[in-house]
C-alpha cells in the first residue's frame, strides 16, 4: 500500500466513487458481495488500491500545509519541485503567546510581533512529492491556504 487505508467514514462518503472504481475493474455488485464473503483478502486489496488512488488525487491537489503548536507555526508552500517554509516561533517559551490557533497567530503578529522570530527555508523533495505530503499529514500537518501564506510573505517584507 502506498499511503493508507481510507477510514470507514471516508469510504461511506465515497461510496459512489468506490462502486464506479469496482465497475471499471470489472467487479460488479454480485461479485463484490461474493468476494467479501469468500475472499476478504482480495476485497481488502481492492479497497487498498481504491484508497491509494483517491489519496493520490487528493495529494496532487495540496498546495499549502501548516503545523501549529503553542510555541510555533510552520507553513509550507508545496510547489511542484520544492517545499518552501515560513516558520514563526516564540523567542521565549514563557511568553504568553499562543500560535496554535488562527486567532492566536493573528494576535501575536499584530500585537506581539517583537516576541516572535521568523525564518524561511526551501528544499527539494527528498521523495516523490505526494509521498512527502502524505508523511507531513501523518505527522500532524493540516491543509492551509494561499491567503495565509501570502499574508506571512507580506509580513516578512514589512
Q: What is the pLDDT of residue 93?
A: 81
Question: pLDDT > 70: what percent of the chain?
Answer: 100
Per the structure block, which three cell numbers stand in for 75? 507553513
Judged against a pLDDT cut of 90, whether residue 155 lies above it is answered with no
Q: Give dist(CA 22, CA 46) in Å, integer.
A: 8
DSSP states of the chain = --S-PPPHHHHHHTHHHHHHHHHHTT--HHHHHHHHHH-HHHHHHHHHHHHHHHHHHHHHH--EEEEE-SSEEEEEEE-SSEEEEEEEEESSTTSS---SSHHHHHHHHHH-GGGEEEEEEEEE-SS-HHHHHHHHHHTT-EE--HHHHHHHHHHHH-
35, 101, 118, 136 from 152: Cα distances, Å: 52, 15, 10, 20
Judged against a pLDDT cut of 80, whether residue 125 lies above it is answered with yes
Distance of CA 100 to the CA centre of its chain: 17
Per the structure block, which three cell numbers stand in for 129? 512529492
Task: Report the pLDDT averaged over residues 106-114.
Answer: 87
Task: Report the pLDDT averaged over residues 31-36.
Answer: 92
pLDDT tens, 42-85? 999 999 999 999 999 999 999 999 999 999 999 999 999 999 99
Supply the pTM of this predicted model: 0.86
| Phi/psi-derived region of residue 117, left when phi > 0, alpha when psi is between -120 and 50, beta in every other case | beta
For the chain, count helices (H), then strands (E): 7, 5
- Bridge partners (DSSP) of residue 124 are 82
Amino acid at each position: 500500500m502506498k499511503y493508507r487505508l481510507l477510514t470507514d467514514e471516508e469510504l461511506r462518503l465515497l461510496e459512489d466513487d468506490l462502486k464506479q472504481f469496482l465497475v471499471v475493474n470489472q467487479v460488479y455488485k454480485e461479485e463484490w458481495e461474493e468476494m467479501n464473503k469468500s475472499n476478504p483478502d482480495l476485497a481488502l486489496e481492492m479497497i487498498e488500491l481504491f484508497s491509494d488512488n483517491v489519496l493520490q488525487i487528493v495529494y496532487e491537489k495540496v498546495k499549502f500545509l501548516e503545523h501549529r503548536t503553542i510555541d510555533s507555526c510552520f507553513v509550507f508552500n508545496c510547489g511542484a519541485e520544492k517545499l518552501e517554509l515560513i516558520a514563526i516561533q516564540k523567542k521565549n517559551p514563557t511568553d504568553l503567546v499562543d500560535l496554535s490557533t488562527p486567532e492566536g497567530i493573528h494576535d501575536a503578529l499584530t500585537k506581539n510581533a517583537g516576541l516572535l522570530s521568523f525564518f524561511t527555508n526551501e528544499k527539494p523533495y527528498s521523495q516523490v512529492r505526494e509521498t512527502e505530503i502524505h508523511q507531513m499529514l501523518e505527522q500532524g500537518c493540516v491543509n492551509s491556504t494561499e491567503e495565509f501564506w501570502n499574508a506571512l510573505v507580506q509580513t516578512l517584507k514589512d
